[in-house]
Amino acid sequence: MEKKITKLIELIIDEKSSKFGVEAISLVEFPAIEENWVFFSKDNFLSLAKLDEDKKTLVGAVLIPDKHIPRHDQETGEDYNVYFTADTIKQAQELFMSNLRNNNATYEHQLPIQGISVVESWVKEDKEFDKSNAYGFKEMPIGTWFVQMKVNNDEVWEKVKNGEVKGFSIEGYFVDKVE
């Protein structure tokens, strides 16, 4: 039996709140946005985001505008979807970088990890000429937030190569706007 989604919630940033925006980017096995990074090994192209073995870098989407992300409320047992608009994504990306959070990384939203840095961050602005196309993300919509991460942590790099982590997920503080 398929779960019935009864509520759609837009997540927004309230800069008047004591905590707001994206605090960290987590390396996860199952990204909520359902997009993995591309993995290039020395011999073959494996899939949807880019991993450069020699440089130990990852490139992938962090947030996709208007993408419905399934959630479950443990207290009420209710299933619902959340999403971010392109404007909120742009605001989150700018705040993340301007607040120097590019070294804040976790593993599966649990353990803070050292040796991981966002070295590049951008929001897709052009369907045809955006650099995300070169990484295999041609179908991602305008407004998608991408990052390139440098991994100077051998334990984490092994997890990446072994497929134990496949994408990015954000950690942050947002306000619900129920529709």
Contact 41, 75 (CB under 8 A): no
pLDDT for residue 30 is more than 80: no
pLDDT for the residue numbered 77: 84
How many CB atoms sit inside 10 A of residue 80's CB?
19
What is the spatial distance between Cα 157 and Cα 98, in angstroms, rounded to a whole number? 27
Structure tokens at 154: 């051998």
The pLDDT value given to residue 2: 58
Q: What is the largest distance, in Å, between two alpha-carbon atoms of the chain? A: 50
Mean pLDDT (the chain) is 83
169, 26 in Cβ contact below 8 A?
Answer: yes
- Where b means 16+ CB within 10 Å and e means fewer, 34-43 reads ebbbbbbeee
27, 156 in Cβ contact below 8 A? Answer: yes
pLDDT band at 45 (very low <50, low <70, confident <90, very high): very low
Asked whether the beta carbons of 7 and 81 are under 8 A apart, the reply is yes
Q: Tell me: the pLDDT tens digits for 58-107?
A: 888 999 999 888 887 888 888 888 899 999 999 999 999 999 999 999 99
The pTM assigned to this predicted structure is 0.85
Instruction: Decide if pLDDT at 150 tops 70.
Output: yes
In this prediction, residue 166 carries a pLDDT of 82
